[in-house]
Amino acid sequence: MNFELSEEQRAYAASAREFAQSEFRPHAALWDAEAIFPKDALRAAGDLGFMGMYTPEAAGGLAMSRLDASLIVEELARGCTTTAAFLTIHNMATAMIGKYCQQSVIDAWCPDLVAGTTLASYCLTEPGAGSDAASLRTRAVRDGDTYRLSGSKVFISGAGDTDVLVVMARTGSGADEIGARGITAFLVPAHLHGISYGKKEKKMGWNAQPTRQISFDDVQVPAANRLGEEGQGFAIAMEGLDGGRINIATCSVGTAQQAIVDATAYVQDRKQFNSTIADFQHTQFQLADMLTELVAARQMIRLAASKLDHVDPSASTYCAMAKRFATDAGFKVCNDALQLFGGYGYIREYPMERYVRDTRVHQILEGTNEIMRVIISRQALMDGALEVIQ
């Protein structure tokens, strides 16, 4: 197994790093403090292809591997965790449209989605169906050439400020009214009659992207806007979540990397008891542990991404392991970095408290880390732990 990045991959990362440090990082504190959704910055990301990274080439995307895309996402997260995270959600929704919609719909929507001039939200979670996604109740009833969509979604990133919604709804009847069967995915223009948006949620972090509840009241969606076939929605959602888990884990690693860079510079400059903080053995050990955990998390993500790219049967398990480990480790690294800053880490003049706030939710998103443990242990009990790790 070759752990070295190719020249092309290094070029991807360098391009993303330069963009993030010039377009995201200088503004991230303001976006957070004033809850600004930076659409102009997202459009600029689209100019570099970052808004359609793994959307198929036939739909105008770059068709990148998950591994290559993770290199870009990590660098973007170093600039602004929240904006990078939304960008990955947009990428997930856009890739689904580009892969599963019929060509006329792809032609109508994907050029602007890939360019970042049109933005997408992904709508799976419901008030009564968080981790148990298969119990969703939003329903779409076929009526000739349309579906009538009713129900609600909650905790939707970008809601109210995006143009396209990829919505999971139940179309089955009888035995298909429960569980994973009978769920279908739809592309829903965000401002159709019957769609309403709740208040912008006041959150601990991720303030640079709006989060709202969405209600659908007999919304008429063209049947042509269906992704794939009826009943295929849950499989599409789970496919997206595997990639989403890699994405959010990568956002944690990127933020943790920047936290280590910032903390290392700080402890070499800050003096206490006539010595720099970096001279204290405790500080040195703390940095060593932080860096070790960061590298371990990064390698787990890259392994999971490789499994996903090669359609390995155990890819979902590896994605769950990477998400669980990297989001826990990333948050811990950011929290430890804040501790090295002492009181200064707690005030908003420095970015440490923002890193901590923004990475905390990663342990909840894309399936809580408790659910990741359920996925991993279930596979281990089914196939045997030795088989899982080979």
Asked whether 121 and 166 are in contact (CB, 8 A), the reply is yes
For the beta carbon of residue 109, count every other beta carbon within 10 angstroms: 22
Q: Which of 148, 155, 150 is nearest to 89 (CA)?
A: 155
**Cα–Cα–Cα angle for 45, 47, 51, rounded to 5 degrees:** 50
Give the separation between CA 235 and CA 240, rounded to whole angstroms.
9
Q: Rounded to whole angstroms, what are the CA distances from 21 to 8, 14, 28, 137, 249?
A: 20, 11, 10, 42, 20
Give the separation between CA 262 and CA 248, rounded to whole angstroms.
21
Catalytic positions: 366
- Which stretches within the chain are classed as H helix? 7-19, 28-33, 39-47, 66-79, 81-100, 103-115, 233-269, 281-309, 315-341, 352-360, 369-383, 385-388
**DSSP letter string, 267-324:** HHH-EETTEEGGGSHHHHHHHHHHHHHHHHHHHHHHHHHHHHHTT-TTHHHHHHHHHH
Give the separation between CA 337 and CA 330, rounded to whole angstroms.
11
Using N-to-C axis directions, what is the helix angle for 315-341 and 352-360, rounded to 10°? 150
**DSSP letter string, 18-42:** HHIIIIIGGGHHHHHHTT---HHHH
